[in-house]
């Protein structure tokens, strides 16, 4: 019955820290229905699949360069290191970060919200799978995802997210603005 | 013929192993016992357990059994038995560092401290393999739609319900994906509040059926 897993299927918060305590804290606090909490030491973090959100601490971010082209939310406890692939929202401690993640998991824009496990629940109650970019954008609403230099791959990811919105007739747009990629609601259109 | 779901039991204390075996049989599940890591790996060559109850401390196992370690068993489960839920039942999972060591061998392992005894383990197994998902219940290795009383005993159905109880997805090959779709059809037919959701990449999970807007639910 079992096939080999290529990447995590469920929405994942990757905790990057030398010690496992933040992982255990977040694992026990966050709703396991909505997010799986994974852990990697800074040196090993590059081997992980692309998470929905990455939360780190410390000064070592060299192994995270592989996430440069991916749409994901970045959070950092304490001052973020200079070589992070994208600007991270800084949190004072893991408690503040947990509260921030809880808020991100609960975001609802134009009737769209995160589905349990992964994917999105659309305003009509239908389920939209394979929408990792939109999941990250939704979590970052309203500020949007702060991105590094816009590479071709990042632009493609933004286009794919915009195309999904269009194909499903959702009253949302993907907008680039000052190094950020954000979901914006179409003016004058109300969700179904 | 219906074959009940299997539970791998790895325990070096033979008295405890036999107590665990009784607990598992009491739940109408099939125990697959191993008193050491080497035996457990051999069992995994031929069995596809739904749950693995694993003791970390193998100090009472014969020396030959300890040529491989419990972490080899956990790594094997993670590599080849993705749909098996590992439940580490040990005195050595009290601290976060203990749990992190297990995590490195199997990132989806669940923990149950031996300090709380067998009754608590029984509750934990029951909650995983006997709990409810929406209007479905897993009872004695069979999935029951509680309102209608109708049952289905296909292993894919049982695996999906148990995985949902552990907040995990199930990874299926094509033939089993067909079984998952048939299970989905069965859920439609009985009017269940639960559906089978394809997450992509051969991953499946049970999910609550979203009420349509305005249907008053």
- Across the interface, whether the CB atoms of B83 and A4 are under 8 A apart is answered no
- The reported pLDDT for the residue numbered A108 is 96
Cβ of B99 within 8 Å of Cβ of A20? The answer is yes
The model's pTM: 0.88
Burial class from Cβ neighbours inside 10 Å (0-12, 13-18, 19+) for residue A47 reads exposed
Q: Is the pLDDT of residue B201 over 90?
A: no
Torsion from C-alpha of B55, B59, B63, B65, nearest 10 degrees: 0
Residue pLDDT, tens place only, B74-110: 999 999 998 999 999 999 888 999 999 999 999 999 9
In the predicted model, what is the mean pLDDT of residues B168-193? 93
Distance of alpha carbon A116 from the chain centroid: 15
The reply to whether A12-104 and A109-185 are identical in fold is no
Chain B residue with minimal CA distance to A115? B207
Name chain B contacts of A192, Cβ cutoff 8 Å. 213
Strands (DSSP E) along A4-151, which ranges?
12-16, 36-40, 53-57, 73-77, 89-91, 108-109, 112-114, 120-121, 127-128, 145-146
Domain extents for chain A? 12-104, 109-185
A130 touches chain B (CB under 8 A): yes
pLDDT digits (tens, 9 = 90+) for B7-36: 999 999 999 999 999 999 988 889 999 999
What would be the CATH architecture of the domain defined by A12-104? 3-Layer(aba) Sandwich (3.40)
Provide the pLDDT for residue B211.
61
pLDDT > 60? residue A5: no
Contact call for A1 and B83, based on CB within 8 A: yes
Give the minimum alpha-carbon distance from B62 to chain A in angstroms, rounded to a whole number: 31
| Domain ranges within chain B, ordered by starting residue | 6-129, 132-204
d(CA B170, CA A3) in angstroms, rounded, equals 10
CATH of A109-185, one of 1.10.10, 3.90.1720, 1.10.3210, 1.25.40: 1.10.10
Superfamily in which the B6-129 domain is placed by CATH: Response regulator (3.40.50.2300)
């Amino acid at each position: 019955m079992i096939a080999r897993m290529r990447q995590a299927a469920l929405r994942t918060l990757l905790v990057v820290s030398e010690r496992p305590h933040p992982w255990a804290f977040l694992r026990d606090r966050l709703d396991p229905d909505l997010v799986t909490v994974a852990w990697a030491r800074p040196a090993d973090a590059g081997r992980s699949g692309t998470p929905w959100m990455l939360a780190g601490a410390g000064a070592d971010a060299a192994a995270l360069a592989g996430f440069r082209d991916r749409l994901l939310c970045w959070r950092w406890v304490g001052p973020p290191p200079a070589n992070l692939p994208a600007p991270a929202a800084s949190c004072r401690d893991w408690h503040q970060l947990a509260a921030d993640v809880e808020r991100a998991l609960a975001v609802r824009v134009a009737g769209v919200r995160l589905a349990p496990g992964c994917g999105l629940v659309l305003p009509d109650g239908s389920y939209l799978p394979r929408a990792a970019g939109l999941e990250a954008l939704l979590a970052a609403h309203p500020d949007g995802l702060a991105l590094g230099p816009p590479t071709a791959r990042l632009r493609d990811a933004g286009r794919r997210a915009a195309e999904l919105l269009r194909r499903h007739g959702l009253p949302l747009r993907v907008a680039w603005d000052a190094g950020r990629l954000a979901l914006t609601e179409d003016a004058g259109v109300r969700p179904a | 013929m219906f074959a009940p779901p299997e539970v791998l039991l790895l325990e070096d204390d033979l008295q405890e192993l036999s107590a665990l075996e009784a607990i598992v049989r009491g739940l109408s599940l099939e125990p697959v016992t191993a008193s050491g890591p080497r035996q457990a790996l051999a069992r995994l060559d031929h069995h596809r357990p739904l749950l693995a109850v694993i003791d970390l401390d193998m100090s009472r196992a014969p020396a030959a059994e300890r040529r491989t370690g419990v972490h080899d068993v956990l790594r094997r489960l993670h590599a080849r038995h993705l749909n098996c839920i590992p439940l580490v039942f040990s005195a050595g999972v009290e601290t976060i560092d203990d749990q992190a060591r297990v995590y490195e061998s199997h990132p989806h392992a669940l923990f149950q401290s031996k300090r709380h005894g067998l009754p608590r383990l029984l509750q934990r197994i029951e909650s995983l393999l006997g709990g409810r998902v929406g209007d479905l219940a897993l009872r004695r290795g069979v999935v029951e739609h509680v309102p209608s009383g109708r049952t289905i005993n296909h292993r894919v159905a049982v695996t999906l319900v148990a995985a949902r109880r552990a907040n995990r997805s199930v990874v299926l090959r094509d033939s089993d994906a067909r079984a998952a779709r048939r299970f989905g059809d069965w859920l439609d037919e009985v009017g269940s509040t639960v559906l089978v959701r394809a997450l992509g990449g051969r991953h499946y999970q049970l999910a609550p059926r979203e009420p349509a807007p305005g249907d008053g639910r």
